Chain A
Amino acid sequence: MDINTFIDNFAGQFDDTDRSVFTAETKFREIDEWSSLIALSIIAMVDEEYDVTLKGEDVKGAETIQDLFNTVQSKKQ
């Protein structure tokens, strides 16, 4: 798994936030556009792209994109 591709996929779920805002250290729930729809979209994206089933609590428990990447990676093994 590649973190940069993950960030691309992550950023793809947003409409109004510029791609440059997203880095591994971004605290994504602090982004203005963050919503319950985007939370569901992240779960669906991870299922589609990585074949990993995330829970709402996994998303809630992650602070940065790196944290979520780590969760996905650990669930993939």
Chain B
Amino acid sequence: MATSYNPFSLEGKTMLVTGASSGIGQTAAVELAKLGAKVVVTGRDVARLQETLDRLEGEGHVQVAADLTSADGIGALVEACPVLDGVVLCAGRGLLLPLQFCDGDKFREVFDINFFSPVETLRLLTKKKKVQKGGAVVFVSSVGGTEIFATGNAIYGTSKAALSSAVRFYANELAARKIRVNSVNPGRVNTKLIRSGKLSEEQEQADIAKYPLKRYGEPEDIAHGIAYLLSDASSWVTGQSLVIDGGLTI
């Protein structure tokens, strides 16, 4: 009995992970499969998406290449999804730009993928009854925009703040269907998103020094939080933002 006891198991569950062709989403897909889930992975880059699929343990995983800023892309993804026990809305992008350069087009470009896309994906999934009663949704938000207001991060941060707010509205309404909705809110994580090169090595070292645990996160640090929020171990948790940031916001 004791050997099979694991409230964090995802055995028998089917999960969708967006942004699964890179970084946090890719690692999340790999970890969810290790915990027993069947995973639908989606991203734009076909080669990197295939790499994700190849790394997934177990059988029955599916890949769907789609641009989630287009209605057709979201439509095709939702169509391809079986009924899901879990949804991880991870696709997103960064942008480091001082306010004087942040015009409406720049805001729209980032909000398209960071806010409108996950919200529309979830709308269609629930409208088409693709999220099982008792299912769980995890948005990948950020500490940027709700806790941290770093120079040059206004567009990114406001898009994530909107997402962090959406989590609570969705949690409230979807509770009627016993669907839980939470977010993980990471500090800076070592993925291609933070490698725009706009910060010099020296600036990056100064930034890392602000983290009490003296390092940026690794994708696994975030994937494990996502796995918890999808598992039965978090059955009574909804509408929450799980900060995973090496202590940055203490």
A48 to B197, CA, bound (A): 17
User: B151 interface residue, CB < 8 Å from A?
Assistant: yes
**A57 and B197 in contact (CB under 8 A), knowing A36-B151, A40-B96, A40-B151?**
yes
Whole-angstrom distance from the CB of B107 to the nearest CB of chain A?
A: 14
User: B3 interface residue, CB < 8 Å from A?
Assistant: no
Q: Which B residues between 142 and 200 are near A, CB-CB below 8 angstroms?
A: 151-152, 197-200
Give the segment of B97-105, B128-136, B210-218 that binds chain A.
B97-105
* Chain B residues, CB < 8 A from A52: none
Scan A36-62; emit 1 where CB is below 8 A from any B CB, else 0: 110111011100100000011101100
* Chain A residues, CB < 8 A from B97: 40, 44
**Residue contact B198 to A56, C-beta cutoff 8 Å:** yes
**Residue contact B151 to A56, C-beta cutoff 8 Å:** no
A26 to B181, CA, bound (A): 54
A65 to B201, CA, bound (A): 21
* Chain A residues, CB < 8 A from B200: 39, 55-57, 59-60
Whole-angstrom distance from the CB of A31 to the nearest CB of chain B?
A: 17
**A60 and B202 in contact (CB under 8 A), knowing A37-B151, A37-B152, A44-B97?**
yes
**A36 and B203 in contact (CB under 8 A), knowing A41-B100, A44-B97?**
yes
How many residue pairs link A and B with beta carbons under 8 A? The number is 38
* Size band of the interface chain B makes with A: 10 to 19
* Size band of the interface chain A makes with B: 10 to 19
Whole-angstrom distance from the CB of A43 to the nearest CB of chain B?
A: 6
* Chain B residues, CB < 8 A from A41: 98, 100-101
**Residue contact A40 to B197, C-beta cutoff 8 Å:** no
**A55 and B203 in contact (CB under 8 A), knowing A36-B151, A44-B101?**
no
- Spell out A's residues near B (CB within 8 Å): 36-37, 39-41, 43-45, 48, 55-57, 59-60
- Spell out B's residues near A (CB within 8 Å): 96-98, 100-101, 151-152, 197-203
24 contacts between A and B (CB under 8 A): A36-B151, A36-B203, A37-B98, A39-B200, A40-B96, A40-B97, A40-B98, A40-B152, A41-B100, A43-B198, A44-B97, A44-B98, A44-B101, A48-B101, A55-B198, A55-B200, A56-B198, A56-B199, A56-B200, A56-B201, A56-B203, A57-B200, A59-B200, A60-B200
The 9 nearest A-B residue pairs measured at CB = A56-B200, A55-B197, A44-B101, A60-B200, A40-B152, A41-B98, A56-B199, A37-B151, A40-B98
